[in-house]
Amino acid sequence: MIDIKLIREDRDLVKENIKKKFQDEKLPLVDEVYELDKRVREVQVRADGLKADKNKLSGEIGKLMKDGKKDEAEAIKAEIAKTATEIAELEEEQEKLTKDIKDKMMVIPQIMDASVPIGKDDTENVEVQKFGEPVVPEYEIPYHADIIERVNGMDKDAAGRTSGQGFYYLLGDIARLHEAMIAYARDYMIDAGFTYAIPPFMIHSDVVTGVMSFPEMEAMMYKIENEDLYLIGTSEHSMIGKFKDQIIKRDELPINMTSYSPCFRKEGGSHGLEERGLYRVHQFEKQEMIVICEPEDSMEWYEKMWKLTVEIFRNFDVPVRQLECCSGDLADLKVKSCDIEAWSPRQKKYFEVGSCSTLGDAQARRLGIRAKGEKGTYYLHTLNNTVVATPRGLIALIENNYQEDGSIKVPKALQPYMGGKEVIVLKK
């Protein structure tokens, strides 16, 4: 949610930002908010004047009664009652107008950083740089589900019986490799100076709408029946929500935390939960990072955060690239975002394994996350980044460490988490 001052002082800037995101249907909202805000201030001025008049008249009643001027006192009482009624009507109008403004402001996108490339959708995202050489071996790389099944590492049929499509059992060495990735990522982030956390896996609706847009919420999140609770789609939601309505001391900034959680997503649509692999699933695990910082430090943190993900995947012997999200692919709350994509030697292309975003003060403004400075309180900036999400990260690791004999090399970084195991071999 942007600052209302932007609409008061520079509507053209807000409109131009909307156009760059190819959301022209939202352009009328800017003028609507401007007029509603103007009316709110008019109502406030009128109500404040009436309250001052009411207080002044109330002070006269006692004096008139003391002087025996009862009729005049009663007349003033009637005038006060009339004024009180008008004040109540104005306050009711102001409350309605304020709600209308908030509803419209929640839909107006955050002002993007000037460096964001302009494009209509994810097909126009821009590759920035690559890390590691993408290799296609001379031997064939099977589909990841086939590789995993050959080492007895997965049972989706049983998961279908217990839970339906989009769920899975991971077994044996593959389950252990999965957890090794998460544990390594956790320790790597702790060593990088981040505070480790395990957050709540369910959050209230006011936290959900504070961290994401309503359409995103409806498309992604599972609601608990008859409860004001949602299963988290990523631990960023509950980690940012931790600071809701807080005024954070400046000497406590920046707050940088890394969190583990299971994640739950609907993953609806035609892109296919029918597929037998692990690419799109309803349930996965993730190591996340969040930062809450001074506004002037957010872009520096953004650069630090996505590079940590790159370092971790390179330690898994997985080539990756950074892909800048264009304006049309940028979620409305985000100022700037990039995806980290891993190389798939089977598909001979990259696929997303993580995303890093700075949201400016959008989430902080919705959730009331502030600091107190010399000129009063102000909103902080929030950032988030995927450290490792499995099983997508697991797919990338398996494909890039698959050997011709059907075995899977365990990267050196993960061997201590696998009891020293160097290779996962085929099961007879």
Number of other residues whose CB lies within 10 A of the CB of residue 124: 14
Q: Tell me if 110 is assigned to some domain.
A: no
Q: What is the pTM for the complete model shown?
A: 0.89
Q: Tell me if 385 is assigned to some domain.
A: yes
Predicted pLDDT at 78: 85
Q: Tell me if 116 is assigned to some domain.
A: no
DSSP 231-289: E-SSHHHHHHHTTTT-EE-GGGPPEEEEEEEEEE----STT-TTSSSSSS-SEEEEEEE
Res. 120: pLDDT tops 50: yes
pLDDT band at 428 (very low <50, low <70, confident <90, very high): low
Sheet with 126-131: list strands edge to edge.
126-131, 320-324, 336-344, 349-358, 381-390, 283-293, 255-264, 195-197
* Backbone dihedral angles phi then psi of residue 347, each to the nearest 5 degrees: -85, -15
Indicate if 299 and 157 belong to the same structural domain.
Answer: yes
Per-residue pLDDT reduced to its tens digit, 35-93:
999 999 999 999 999 988 888 888 777 777 777 777 788 788 888 888 889 999 999 99
Indicate if 170 and 26 belong to the same structural domain.
Answer: no
Predicted pLDDT at 68: 76
Indicate if 132 and 98 belong to the same structural domain.
Answer: no
Q: Is the backbone peptide bond immediately before 411 cis, with ω within 30 degrees of 0?
A: no
Indicate if 303 and 354 belong to the same structural domain.
Answer: yes
Predicted pLDDT at 77: 84
Number of other residues whose CB lies within 10 A of the CB of residue 417: 18
CATH of the domain at 385: 3.30.930.10
Q: Please state which of the ranges 54-58, 116-120, 345-349 shows the lowest mean pLDDT.
A: 54-58
Indicate if 386 and 273 belong to the same structural domain.
Answer: yes
| Burial tier of 171 (Cβ tally within 10 Å: 0-12, 13-18, 19+) | middle
Indicate if 300 and 347 belong to the same structural domain.
Answer: yes
Tracing tokens 């975002």 back to the chain, one arrives at 337
What are the tokens at 341? 């994509």
Of all residues in the chain, what percent carry a pLDDT higher than 90?
82
pLDDT band at 268 (very low <50, low <70, confident <90, very high): low
Predicted pLDDT at 61: 77
Predicted pLDDT at 427: 79
Q: Pick the more confident residue, 1 or 321.
A: 321
Burial 11-33 (b: 16+ CB within 10 A, else e): eeebbebbebbebeebbebbeeb
Q: Tell me if 15 is assigned to some domain.
A: yes
In whole angstroms, give the CA distance from residue 298 to residue 361. Answer: 10
pLDDT band at 329 (very low <50, low <70, confident <90, very high): very high
Show which of 78, 105, 132 is a domain's final residue. Answer: 105
Indicate if 295 and 224 belong to the same structural domain.
Answer: yes
Indicate if 79 and 169 belong to the same structural domain.
Answer: no
CATH of the domain at 35: 1.10.287.40
Predicted pLDDT at 20: 97
Indicate if 43 and 98 belong to the same structural domain.
Answer: yes
Please state whether beta strands 247-248 and 370-373 pair in parallel, antiparallel, or not at all (unpaired): parallel
Q: Where are the strands (E) in 177-241, listed by range?
A: 195-197, 202-203, 230-231
SS3 412: helix
Predicted pLDDT at 272: 47
Predicted pLDDT at 72: 80
Indicate if 167 and 249 belong to the same structural domain.
Answer: yes
Tracing tokens 């790597």 back to the chain, one arrives at 188
Predicted pLDDT at 373: 86
Query: Residue 89 belongs to what domain range?
Result: 4-105
If you average pLDDT over residues 180-195, what whole number do you get? Answer: 98
Tracing tokens 């390179």 back to the chain, one arrives at 314
Burial 194-216 (b: 16+ CB within 10 A, else e): beebebbbbbbeebbebbbbeeb
Per-residue pLDDT reduced to its tens digit, 215-235:
777 788 999 999 999 999 999
Res. 306: pLDDT tops 60: yes
Number of domains in the chain: 2
90 CA to centre of own chain: 37
Q: Tell me if 113 is assigned to some domain.
A: no
| E strand or H helix at 358 | strand 349-358
Show which of 105, 138, 168 is a domain's final residue. Answer: 105
Indicate if 31 and 152 belong to the same structural domain.
Answer: no
Indicate if 84 and 134 belong to the same structural domain.
Answer: no
In whole angstroms, give the CA distance from residue 107 to residue 216. Answer: 12
pLDDT band at 273 (very low <50, low <70, confident <90, very high): very low
In whole angstroms, give the CA distance from residue 188 to residue 202. Answer: 26
- Contact call for residues 336 and 358 (beta carbons, < 8 A): yes
Per-residue pLDDT reduced to its tens digit, 373-389:
888 999 999 999 999 99
What are the tokens at 308? 């940590």
Q: Tell me if 60 is assigned to some domain.
A: yes
Q: Tell me if 168 is assigned to some domain.
A: yes
Res. 244: pLDDT tops 50: yes
Show which of 105, 135, 169 is a domain's final residue. Answer: 105
Tracing tokens 């956790």 back to the chain, one arrives at 186
Q: Where are the strands (E) in 89-201, listed by range?
A: 126-131, 154-155, 169-170, 195-197
Q: Tell me if 180 is assigned to some domain.
A: yes
Res. 271: pLDDT tops 60: no
